[in-house]
Amino acid sequence: MLLKRNAKLVLEDGSVFYGSSFGFSSSVSGEVVFSTGMVGYPESLTDPSFKGQILCTTYPLIGNYGVPSDKKDSYGLDEVFESESIQVQALIVSDYSEDYSHWNAAKSLGSWLKEQQIPGICGIDTRALTKKLREKGSMLGKIIIDEKEVKKYDPNQEDVVKKVTISFATVYDPSKKTITKIKNDFDIKKINQVKRKKIVLVDCGVKNNIIRNFLKREVIVIRVPYDYDFFKFEFDGLFISNGPGNPKTCKLAIENIKKAIKDTKPIFGICLGNQLLALASGANTYKLKYGHRSQNQPCIMEKTDRCFITTQNHGFAVNPKTLPKDWEVFFTNINDKTNEGIKHKTKPFFSCQFHPEAFPGPVDTEFLFDKFIEEFK
Amino acid sequence: MGKLAVKHKIKKALVIGSGALSIGQGGEFDYSGSQCLKALKEEGIKTILINPNIATIQSSKGMADKIYFLPVTPYFVEKIIKKEKPDSIMLAFGGQTALNCGVELHDSGILKKHKIKVLGTQVETIKDTEDRELFIKRLSEIDVKVAESKAVKTIKEGLKIAKKIKYPIMARAAYALGGKGSGVAHNDDELKELLAKSFAYSPQILIEKYLGGWKEIEYEVVRDSKDNCITVCNMENFDPMGIHTGESIVIAPSQTLTNSEYHKLREIAIRVIRHLGIVGECNIQYALDPESEDYRVIEVNARLSRSSALASKATGYPLAFIAAKLGLGYSLTDLDNSITKTTKACFEPALDYVVVKIPRWDLEKFRHVSQKIGSEMKSVGEVMAIGRKFEEALQKALRMLGTGIHGITCNSISLNKNLGSELKNPTDKRILAVAESMKKNYSIEKIHSLSKIDKWFLHKIKNIVDTEKLLSRCNEKNIPKELLRHAKQLGFSDFQIARLVFKNKKYDENVIKVRTTRKKQGIIPYVKQIDTLAAEYPAKTNYLYMTYNGSRDDIKGSGHNSVIVLGSGVYRIGSSVEFDWCCVNAVLASKKLKYNTIMINYNPETVSTDYDICSKLYFEEMSLERVLDIYEKELPHGVMLAFGGQIPNNLAMKLHRNHVKILGTNPLNIDNAEDRHKFSKLCDDLDVDQPAWTEVTTVNAAERFAEKVSYPILIRPSYVLSGAAMAVASDKKDLDKYLEKAAEVSKEHPVVLSKFITGAKEIEMDAVAYQGDVLIYAVSEHIENAGIHSGDATMVLPPQFTYLETIRKVKETAKKLSKALQITGPFNMQFIAKENEIKVIECNLRSSRSFPFVSKVTKHNFIDIATKAMLGSVKKEQYNTIDLDYVGVKAPQFSFSRLQGADPISGVEMASTGEVACLGKDVNDAFLKALLSVGYKIPQKSVLLSTGPIKNKAYLLDSAKKLKEMDLDIFATKGTYEFLKKNGVKAKKLFWPLEKKEPNILSYLKSGKIDLVINIPKNFEELELNNDYLIRRKAVDFNIPLITNAQNAKMFIESISKLSVDDLEIKDWESYE
């Protein structure tokens, strides 16, 4: 198909890449980041950690297997997608396939983007763009379609977690395969009476597959907004989810976690959760030049010979040198030596920067969910 | 020494090579073996290599500490073990040959006896993967589904099994040839009917899940001894299940798999490999249901393989090197990513391009071979193309095949008229039939239902077909810029565009016009790096490709202090690993002279495309267009095209006309040697004799010439390498038939006829000259009389049976021609000698197939000398290449057993797929080793003689007597029997196959009563499925050594009468002085 070259990507540094529009036809702005994963665009696009970002896939052929239908399971969770909707501001690819082929596909990627009002641009030298981002760091950018200007938008300047967290505390019960919204103290009391394994999941933009992983292990999930005072619940473990943006903007969440680490109940954090736990412990975080967004990051478990291939999606990292003395490094990235997880030396608190729930990506570290649950009294 | 070598007490390791190239075992094992040797060397471990494949890089100076050109069999390996006393052995780097040899050495207790440690995957694990029953058992322990079959003897049993495996199922009659009694059943009723039929053919039927049409997916897996396990690459076959993966078009990474499918199969791969306990590299193949996530594991190869070589080149991840290090006990986290140098080997490459592999077949070269492709491997080579669109990579790859295909469209290749049947029962041309059927308005749906090719691939091909349509509506004055760009992005070559847009047929001119037009519009390709991490980290090495789907170059040109070396391209019959050896040595020699080296090659089986050979590697087409593109970016000192064989050589004039500086012999002189008229005139001027010849364009003229010089006549088109469409006509009928065939091969070039001289010797000269002065030369002789293609001949160096006078004449003639053609660089000449008179039959101003052989036998690197000459660095030295105290013999390897039905015979058309060479104290010693290396065995009981014309019968009479002296029984066909009887040689007469009377040759062959067949054909070209053919074919089918040439037979019998296996010298290369 010979597409009109009607779209362009303009970066903060003034560089321009010309291409064709294939999703929703509207100009948009955001932080431009790249991901090197070769599969899983439906999962990536719906990952709330991408909120506010324009995603460039380095793998050039995108759209090949279309997009599955948005079937929901009995909890109301999407069966394939990682959240209710597409989270990225826009998508940048090299070669888009409108003609897809897969038994499980319901529509093309382009029509899905249109439905969800997300622009896409193709025909871009995504490798050249990636190299620029690698050299200059993540940048703000705009996708301009048909020369229609748009205002600059910087997701790092606002609390993006607010946009992706759940609005009500919600209980997922795997024994009944149901969900219940917590409306009042009575509901809280009722759930507190249930004598089964329970976790509080602090939702900073949680991916569905994290919830699925707990439910699969027969654990009741009490999913709460990121700024929620969850101490009203009785629970066996505290889980802090992934999410977008700068961890330091999640002030209330950090305060809550500070309280939790005074206790000894098991804590597990993923991605943003790793950073929030670190901040709560007193350590510091910083912004990486261009982040890790890929499915092939090797992380070594400290004090072992074991190295795991992990999925990642983060722009900030924990500075391991700032860890207080009762904390230690759990995982380290062997490529750039950045921190990939921390743990408490004596208490059952640990977290990882990568995504053991995968989707997209390798499932090699799924055992961390088991490790967390094993810690329950 | 490396810390782990010390820790594990590894001081001396034996590496088993793969031997000659054959179908199913190609050049990829030179890559893996040489990487293994480098990895060991880096650790300070002494290495010993056994590999009779003399044309490999691994068997070159400096690669291993000791190199044995000996047969890869347990017998010879044990001899070497006794002599060298290694403490460890590597089995995974020499293909199935090395693996099988290793298992035998283990089972017979030889490894244990000599206290030799197997490095990497252990033999027990290898057995788990090789033995089907063990394999199924091991995988069922971890609940992994395996493609399995169950044998049943009754219909009832069959129905029960079918219920268990679920429909559709496939029933196959056991022990029935040609798939008789096989079929697919979708329900009980169909199965009942099918089984009833099948039991008529066979008492036992195999029932298995029908996987035809399932996706075929492969993962390359690496595991270390610490249990870290990664998948380096996955690949998807364009041709679904039913076609051998070696025969399939393959794409990396997979294109039609979702995250869930990709990672499900990845997780299973890791689980399986951990459970089996593999240390190093392996691959796992799956069938994946195109309608669900159901899957079956097909097999695991616990060694480096064809796929791992492909994966290595496709991703940039040096699999073989890493696998060798892991075998020493390193963990993946200890090792660096040698591409980025800043990251670690423990990661999974992220690609930002797509790779397409297409096999190359040479099926036309074999008589009686079916063109159909299927579950057996027949291809002889493969190409790999890289692009940022599937269409781009696919069209590039099709051109790389070198079979006259220009891409998906614009071809003048004749296809099966019945497209539906071609789609369903594919031949090597199915991919073109897909495009053709689209032009005939077949729907994607229909093509899919016939071919089972995933619709995604079909849509992409449709894009190309649609673009062709748009282009053909344009004319030269009006090609819209966006359309032109789009076409280039879909991989259209300038040639394709010219053919569609221009209405005249001045192709050479038009191609350049298209080039100029698009360059003016800024439509040019960009250079991209393969860096294993999709640009996430900076890459240090320069592993490159070009794409129109980009807007910036990754790298800068190298400039004047660099040279471009054009590689050998695809391996095919007539051109394989030996030309890669030449290219690699040219690169190494240029490096020594401080040049930056730029390699262009697209063959994933080669060492020249390894990341550590040259300063820059373009994994690219070797077309005029692409070489110019690269030349314009790099602006080098010049281009070397004399090392890669005929493909680069054919570009000489075209590049020259486009102002590219060619290093070495002036392209005008290359043309003077290639063009028969010019060459013939030159020979006449120099008083150099050549067989009578003519060039004809009509059958009439051909017949007139033949009558004048008398039959037999050799027929050939100009510009040949492996003798495509060459043939010998014994009479007028033959002549007419072959003229038709030759005309198909090359319309641009008329047909050349020459007098075919019988009973003459053939002599070759390989040499290097500088500005016409010969610097070094080597003369070799063929064992076989002239008439056998030099690639199929057995060569002896230095000559043992040629008159000194003849050698002197050869030398003089070569010097004369070299002077006249002002040769600078390598050249090869072939002569016919009879009664001290010589005639020149071939003159190539490039390196030849025998350059590695002569270099290694004489121990003077001809390529090194040639490269230096081409770069103007000449040292006049005296080289001794004649007076050697040992002999080298080079023998061809045939792959007839892989090619069902092929007539196993050699003639003027080359048919061998590989070669070996061995050294020995005398010609018999070297000859016998060479023949044992290509699979011959010394007969223990009996020999079948069927020696053809009376002349040959007399010629072989002495040999027959020798066989009797050795207490061997002789069986003979009627004529031979009578001749032997008359001459007092006792033999037993057997009936011809078609006589259907006992004692018959066929039943003797079948029951193993004969262990050597000597069958000499009566004339040059036999076409009928006759008695002789049946004898030869059955010998191959029953794996009985076969000799079809009288001189060869005589030499073999003489050698075995003089030497037993125990007499053969076990001596490494260096010790021959």
CATH number of the domain within which B797 lies: 3.30.470.20
Looking at the structure, do residues B648 and B668 belong to the same domain, yes or no?
Answer: no
Contact B382, B244 (CB under 8 A): no
Which of B231, B232, B263, B267 to probe the A interface (max A CBs under 10 A)?
Answer: B263
Q: What does the alpha-carbon distance between residue A369 and residue B692 come to, in Å, rounded to a whole number? A: 84
Tens-place pLDDT, residues A281-325? 999 999 999 999 999 999 999 999 999 999 999 999 999 999 999
Interface of B with A in 92-111 (CB under 8 A): none
Instruction: Measure in Å the smallest separation between the Cα of B329 and chain A Cα atoms.
Output: 13
Contact B651, B624 (CB under 8 A): yes
**Type of residue found at A123:** G
Tens-place pLDDT, residues A27-61? 999 999 999 999 999 999 999 999 999 999 999 99
Contact B13, B40 (CB under 8 A): yes
The enclosing domain of B737 has a CATH number of: 3.30.1490.20
Angle, vertex CA A237, rays to CA A234 and CA A238, nearest 5: 95
Q: What does the alpha-carbon distance between residue B1063 and residue B918 come to, in Å, rounded to a whole number? A: 15
Find the radius of gyration of the CA atoms of chain A: 20
Which H helix or E strand runs over A210? helix A208-216
Neighbours of B641 (CB within 10 A): 30
Domain assignment present for residue B355? The answer is no
Looking at the structure, do residues B541 and B515 belong to the same domain, yes or no?
Answer: no
Residue in chain B lying closest to A123 (CA): B549
Alpha helices in B19-64 (DSSP H): 28-42
Give the residue from B359, B192, B237, B220 showing the smallest Cα distance to B283: B220
Q: What does the alpha-carbon distance between residue B852 and residue B579 come to, in Å, rounded to a whole number? A: 8
Contact status of A366 with chain B (Cβ, < 8 Å): no
3-state secondary structure of A362: coil
Neighbours of B1023 (CB within 10 A): 11
- Binary contact (B347, A37; C-beta < 8 A): no
3-state secondary structure of B1073: coil
Neighbours of B485 (CB within 10 A): 18
Contact status of B480 with chain A (Cβ, < 8 Å): no
Looking at the structure, do residues B705 and B814 belong to the same domain, yes or no?
Answer: no
Find the radius of gyration of the CA atoms of chain B: 29
Contacts of B526 in chain A (CB under 8 A): 125
Give the residue from B40, B45, B20, B41 showing the smallest Cα distance to B30: B20
Contact status of A301 with chain B (Cβ, < 8 Å): no
Contacts of B532 in chain A (CB under 8 A): none
Residue located via tokens 């999703």 = A23
Domain assignment present for residue B674? The answer is yes
Domain assignment present for residue B752? The answer is no
Does pTM top 0.90 for this prediction? yes
> Which of B259, B292, B538 minimises the CB distance to A39?
B259
Instruction: Measure in Å the smallest separation between the Cα of A362 and chain B Cα atoms.
Output: 6
Strands, DSSP E only, in A80-225? 90-92, 95-96, 105-107, 120-122, 139-145, 170-173, 178-181, 198-203, 220-225
Neighbours of B155 (CB within 10 A): 18
Q: Quick one: tokens of B462?
A: 């449709």
Q: How many residues does the structure list for chain B?
A: 1073
Domain assignment present for residue B162? The answer is yes
> Which of A58, A103, A123 minimises the CB distance to B352?
A58
Q: B274: burial class by Cβ within 10 Å (0-12, 13-18, 19+)? A: middle
The enclosing domain of B396 has a CATH number of: 1.10.1030.10
Looking at the structure, do residues B555 and B599 belong to the same domain, yes or no?
Answer: yes
- Binary contact (A306, B228; C-beta < 8 A): yes
Give the residue from B26, B28, B46 showing the smallest Cα distance to B37: B46
Contacts of A334 in chain B (CB under 8 A): 333, 343-344, 346
Residue numbers of the domain that contains B81: 3-121
Neighbours of A168 (CB within 10 A): 12
| Paired sense of beta strands B117-119 and B88-90, if any | parallel
Q: What does the alpha-carbon distance between residue B14 and residue B17 come to, in Å, rounded to a whole number? A: 10
Beta bridge mates, B285: B218, B299
**Total domains, chain B:** 8
Q: Which long-range contacts (CB under 8 A, 24 or more apart) does A11-19 make?
A: A11/A132, A11/A139, A11/A140, A11/A141, A12/A139, A12/A140, A12/A141, A13/A132, A13/A136, A13/A139, A15/A132, A17/A124, A17/A125, A17/A128, A17/A129, A17/B551, A18/A123, A18/A124, A18/B551, A19/A92, A19/A121, A19/A122, A19/A123, A19/A124
Distances (CA, A) of B395 to B383, B408, B805: 12, 6, 53
- Binary contact (A65, B456; C-beta < 8 A): yes
Q: Which long-range contacts (CB under 8 A, 24 or more apart) does B124-129 make?
A: B125/B276, B125/B277, B125/B278, B125/B302, B126/B91, B126/B99, B126/B102, B126/B302, B126/B303, B127/B103, B128/B276, B129/B276, B129/B282, B129/B299, B129/B300, B129/B301, B129/B302
- Binary contact (A1, B463; C-beta < 8 A): yes
Predicted pLDDT of residue B180: 58
Looking at the structure, do residues B923 and B1059 belong to the same domain, yes or no?
Answer: yes
* Number of CB pairs, chain A paired with chain B, less than 8 A apart: 178
Q: Quick one: tokens of B717?
A: 């088109």
Domain assignment present for residue B413? The answer is yes
Which of A92, A95, A306 to probe the B interface (max B CBs under 10 A)?
Answer: A95
Looking at the structure, do residues B400 and B329 belong to the same domain, yes or no?
Answer: no
Residues 6+ apart with CB under 8 A from B164: none
Neighbours of A252 (CB within 10 A): 12
Residue in chain A lying closest to B352 (CA): A59
Give the residue from B530, B495, B529, B523 showing the smallest Cα distance to B510: B495
Signed CA dihedral, B496, B501, B502, B503: sign only: positive
Predicted pLDDT of residue B307: 93
Contact B266, B233 (CB under 8 A): no
Residue located via tokens 């006759």 = B1026
Contact B926, B890 (CB under 8 A): no
Neighbours of B698 (CB within 10 A): 11
Residue B495 phi, psi (nearest 5): -60, -50
Looking at the structure, do residues B544 and B507 belong to the same domain, yes or no?
Answer: no
| Paired sense of beta strands A198-203 and A220-225, if any | parallel
Contacts of A300 in chain B (CB under 8 A): 333
Alpha helices in A46-139 (DSSP H): 109-115, 126-136
Contact status of B538 with chain A (Cβ, < 8 Å): yes
Looking at the structure, do residues B972 and B1021 belong to the same domain, yes or no?
Answer: yes
Domain assignment present for residue B1072? The answer is no
- Binary contact (A65, B291; C-beta < 8 A): no
- Binary contact (B348, A334; C-beta < 8 A): no
Instruction: Measure in Å the smallest separation between the Cα of A23 and chain B Cα atoms.
Output: 20
Exposure string of B887-898, with b = 16+ CB inside 10 Å and e = fewer, is bbbbbbbbbbbb
The catalytic residue positions of A are: 271, 355, 357
DSSP code at position B1024? S
Exposure string of A46-73, with b = 16+ CB inside 10 Å and e = fewer, is bbbbbbbbbbbbbbbbbbbbbbbebeee
Distance of CA B68 to the CA centre of its chain: 23
Q: Can you tell me the ipTM of this complex?
A: 0.97
Instruction: Measure in Å the smallest separation between the Cα of B549 and chain A Cα atoms.
Output: 7
Looking at the structure, do residues B669 and B808 belong to the same domain, yes or no?
Answer: yes
Residues 6+ apart with CB under 8 A from A257: A202, A238, A240, A267, A276, A277, A279, A280
Q: What does the alpha-carbon distance between residue B953 and residue B961 come to, in Å, rounded to a whole number? A: 12
Interface of A with B in 52-111 (CB under 8 A): 58-61, 64-65, 68, 80, 94-95, 97, 99-104
- Binary contact (A60, B388; C-beta < 8 A): yes
For residues B697 and A231, which has the higher predicted lDDT (pLDDT)?
A: A231
Looking at the structure, do residues B956 and B1015 belong to the same domain, yes or no?
Answer: yes
Give the residue from B525, B486, B539 showing the smallest Cα distance to B630: B525
> Which of A39, A43, A362 minimises the CB distance to B257?
A39
Instruction: Measure in Å the smallest separation between the Cα of A187 and chain B Cα atoms.
Output: 37
| Paired sense of beta strands B169-173 and B205-209, if any | antiparallel
Domain assignment present for residue B1018? The answer is yes
Domains and CATH numbers, chain A: 7-157 (3.50.30.20), 161-374 (3.40.50.880)
Domain assignment present for residue B378? The answer is no
Beta bridge mates, B152: B205
Q: What does the alpha-carbon distance between residue A221 and residue A268 come to, in Å, rounded to a whole number? A: 13
Predicted pLDDT of residue B745: 45
> Which of A1, A101, A363 minimises the CB distance to B456?
A101
Contact status of B168 with chain A (Cβ, < 8 Å): no
Contact B763, B748 (CB under 8 A): no
Listing DSSP states for B330-347 in one string gives: --TTTSB-TTTSSSBSSS
Contacts of A333 in chain B (CB under 8 A): none
Residues in chain B where the model's pLDDT stays below 50: 177-178, 719-723, 745-746, 1023
> Which of A5, A68, A335 minimises the CB distance to B343?
A335
Looking at the structure, do residues B172 and B243 belong to the same domain, yes or no?
Answer: no
Helical pair B430-439 and B455-472, crossing angle rounded to 10 deg: 60
Residues 6+ apart with CB under 8 A from B392: B489, B490, B491, B547, B548, B549
Contacts of B390 in chain A (CB under 8 A): 61, 95
Looking at the structure, do residues B613 and B485 belong to the same domain, yes or no?
Answer: no
- Last-in-domain residue among B857, B884, B911: B884
Instruction: Measure in Å the smallest separation between the Cα of B289 and chain A Cα atoms.
Output: 10
Give the residue from B974, B979, B1044 showing the smallest Cα distance to B1015: B1044
Instruction: Measure in Å the smallest separation between the Cα of B230 and chain A Cα atoms.
Output: 7
Q: A159: burial class by Cβ within 10 Å (0-12, 13-18, 19+)? A: middle
Which of B215, B335, B448, B536 to probe the A interface (max A CBs under 10 A)?
Answer: B536
Give the residue from B426, B646, B573, B577 showing the smallest Cα distance to B895: B573
Neighbours of B798 (CB within 10 A): 22
The enclosing domain of B920 has a CATH number of: 3.40.50.1380
Give the residue from A157, A159, A145 showing the smallest Cα distance to A92: A145
Q: What does the alpha-carbon distance between residue B758 and residue B781 come to, in Å, rounded to a whole number? A: 16
Contacts of B262 in chain A (CB under 8 A): 38-40
Instruction: Measure in Å the smallest separation between the Cα of B40 and chain A Cα atoms.
Output: 23
Mean pLDDT on A230-255: 96
Predicted pLDDT of residue B696: 83
